[in-house]
Structure 1
Amino acid sequence: MTAAVTLNSLAPELVGRRVSVQVPATSANLGPGFDTLGLALALYDELVVEVLPAPGVDIHVEGVGAGEVPTDESHLVVRSIAHVLAHYGYALPGLRLEARNSIPHGRGLGSSGAAIVSGVMAAKGILEGVVEISDNDALALATELEGHPDNVAPALFGGLTIAWTTPEGPQHKKLMVHRGVSPVVFVPEHVMSTALARSLQPESVPHEDAVFNVSRSALLVAALIQSPELLLAATEDKLHQNYRAAAMPETNALIVALRAAGYPAVVSGAGPSILVLASDPGQRLGAADLVASVSETPWQALHLAVDFKGSVNASA
């Protein structure tokens, strides 16, 4: 039986500390790069956290999730802060959270990863001067909560990230994206459960499909950083999107139509949103026109830049 661990209270001088955090949306997988590739997008959740003298949490949410997400200690940001503090031996103090959310929930744009990273970065700010949390530490702590690093890595560091795991923990490499790459995300009104999407994956895939995806993943990195004209071929996938298609028929139909017209369209994360990695701003306008003309239900087109900063942390 594991002995209970006694956590220390924060030093009195940390009471009243305020930290602001800004975290970008992310799109993982990018077609063939399942659980490996992620891209940060210029759509942000913002958070201000204040350490209170008395226990308890006071949570205010504006924008996405207002009136829907929990406003007690089960809130994902609070759980993330508590996880980081406990890792360094500290109990959760009283907290006031002011969240302004723009990232859609349950649409494949990394909302849970953004909440986790928000909590990790808030805890880092709270502990500044007491505990120094490195980039590798932040990635490891966020991955422990998220389960895989493909969303939290770009949320933390920005740009295009390649993430992998080792016995020493998750690792990442950040790459700068070619300036011609012009993402557009099509967001439907309906949601998709990440757990359901993952449950549709087979435990094994044919050897030729694995080889196919290895080649396309390598090509995709080259296309994103150097040769955007190769994006249509580079975003082909045989590992996950076909298996999930039946659960997202509208998403699948639009991706088929977009790709048939020459647009590099993929499922964003676990879906149901669609990411088009256009090679120039004009191409993404064409993709938006096509979606508007063929879709039977509303899809919001988000014309987003690639975010190169990642999460930003400052004293509030």
Structure 2
Amino acid sequence: MISLDKKIIIRVPATSTGLGTGVDSIGIAFGLYYTVIVEEEMQHWQVNHALGKDIPHNEDNLIVRTILQIDSSIKPHQLTVMSDVPIGKGLGASTTAVAAGIKIANALGDLNMSLDDQIKAGSKMEGHADGIASALLGDITVSYFDGDMATTVKAPTPEAINALIYINKQEPDLNHNVYKQNISSNQAIMASSATNVLVAALMSNEWTKATEMMEKETFYVDNINEKVPELSIIKKHAHELGIYGTYVSKTGQAIITFGTTSELNQLRDVLSTADINGNLRLIKIDHDGATVRGE
């Protein structure tokens, strides 16, 4: 165990998962951040935050539960949390807490966990690797997780590319999520083909082809445009401006469109007068992932 003679500051980016047909395998990190300051040792865990009354301030907090799952011998500390990642809006708020907990456990426990070990631990907690991999590594990540082994490759995004994120003010009319629970073999082949081309395009820096593949809707429920009507509205206006690369998050709460700052500002201006009930935010892509520093 290390002695805490100075504060440790953990910063974790927001994430979005399921780019196109990359269900539970492709994620991306955004420049909205969840920051945790690890302060003095305490008799009991104390998590200071202003994130809402439903989020615990004690050992029941997800950060602390993650820390103790990694190393149950770590002594209680005071943690202070600040976040501009919206909760329950499909941008990985819970994933940021898990990633922060892993980073804190690694530091306080002097565990020397590799990034692969951290991704594996987070994947086991979340049940899939896409969100935690992007939170820890940044950029777009492509991951495989079978319940035990996690393997991830980081794909760079062009520096000029940003994201326009639409956050729905209301809960979409979805029983579970935007994806079908069962698909035919032909649909599976189409989805696999689209995902293969998407990953190949990302790795070869063919961004235009990648964004076209992100818009393939093979896995979406058949009535996706009824469930999330803003998706078709945003895509329509984006296409009129020559912008491709719009997809809806797994929960249906967020719709993301990729483009340059100039393109996305044009789209935001158009959408500001469209019939959609939500907030629009122009956000940078995070290229670095979770960071740890002392103060």
Name the TM tier (shorter chain): 0.7 to 0.9
- Aligned pair partner of 1:177 in 135, 144, 157: 157
1:50 and 1:119, CA in 2 relative to 1: closer, same or farther beyond 3 A?
same
Q: In the alignment, what sits opposite 1:3?
A: none
- Alignment pair present for 1:240 and 2:240: no
- Tell me, which stretches of 5 or more residues in structure 2 are unaligned? none
Paired residues of 1:109 and 1:269 also in contact (CA < 8 A): no
SS across alignment from 2:196: helix
Between the aligned partners of 1:194 and 1:125, the Cα distance in structure 2 is: 40
Paired residues of 1:157 and 1:174 also in contact (CA < 8 A): yes
The alignment yields a C-alpha RMSD, in angstroms, of 2.6
Between the aligned partners of 2:230 and 2:82, the Cα distance in structure 1 is: 28
SS across alignment from 2:97: helix
By how many angstroms is 1:244 displaced?
A: 7.4
Paired residues of 1:220 and 1:234 also in contact (CA < 8 A): yes
Q: In the alignment, what sits opposite 1:82?
A: 68
- Alignment pair present for 1:24 and 2:13: yes
Between the aligned partners of 2:173 and 2:134, the Cα distance in structure 1 is: 21
Amino acid at match of 1:289: D
What is the count of residue pairs matched by the alignment? 292
Q: In the alignment, what sits opposite 1:292?
A: 272
By how many angstroms is 1:122 displaced?
A: 0.9
Between the aligned partners of 1:154 and 1:182, the Cα distance in structure 2 is: 16
- Aligned pair partner of 2:3 in 8, 11, 14: 14
Within-5 A mapping of 1:117-266: 117-128=99-110, 131-166=111-146, 169-191=149-171, 196-197=176-177, 201-202=180-181, 204-224=182-202, 226-242=205-221, 245=224, 248-258=227-237, 261=240, 262-263=242-243, 264-266=245-247
- Tell me, which stretches of 5 or more residues in structure 1 are unaligned? 1-10
Between the aligned partners of 1:231 and 1:259, the Cα distance in structure 2 is: 16
Paired residues of 1:197 and 1:270 also in contact (CA < 8 A): yes
Between the aligned partners of 2:40 and 2:200, the Cα distance in structure 1 is: 45
By how many angstroms is 1:49 displaced?
A: 1.6
Amino acid at match of 2:252: G
Q: In the alignment, what sits opposite 1:61?
A: 49
By how many angstroms is 1:50 displaced?
A: 2.7
1:290 and 1:211, CA in 2 relative to 1: closer, same or farther beyond 3 A?
farther
SS across alignment from 2:198: helix
SS across alignment from 2:22: coil
Between the aligned partners of 1:196 and 1:238, the Cα distance in structure 2 is: 17
SS across alignment from 1:14: coil
SS across alignment from 1:103: coil
Between the aligned partners of 1:58 and 1:231, the Cα distance in structure 2 is: 44
Paired residues of 1:268 and 1:275 also in contact (CA < 8 A): yes
Amino acid at match of 1:61: H
By how many angstroms is 1:168 displaced?
A: 5.4
By how many angstroms is 1:290 displaced?
A: 3.0
Q: Deviations over 1:246-305 (max 9, x none)?
A: 784344443453465353210124231100022x222212321232222242x2222122
SS across alignment from 2:49: strand
Q: Percent identity?
A: 21
TM-score by length of 2: 0.88
SS across alignment from 2:38: strand
Between the aligned partners of 2:170 and 2:251, the Cα distance in structure 1 is: 13
1:308 and 1:260, CA in 2 relative to 1: closer, same or farther beyond 3 A?
closer
- Aligned pair partner of 2:87 in 88, 102, 105: 105
- Alignment pair present for 1:275 and 2:256: yes
Farther off after superposition, 175-184 or 235-244: 235-244
By how many angstroms is 1:141 displaced?
A: 1.2
1:187 and 1:168, CA in 2 relative to 1: closer, same or farther beyond 3 A?
closer
SS across alignment from 1:197: coil
Amino acid at match of 2:82: R
TM-score by length of 1: 0.83
Q: In the alignment, what sits opposite 1:309?
A: 288
Amino acid at match of 1:99: V
Between the aligned partners of 1:79 and 1:152, the Cα distance in structure 2 is: 16
Paired residues of 1:16 and 1:53 also in contact (CA < 8 A): no
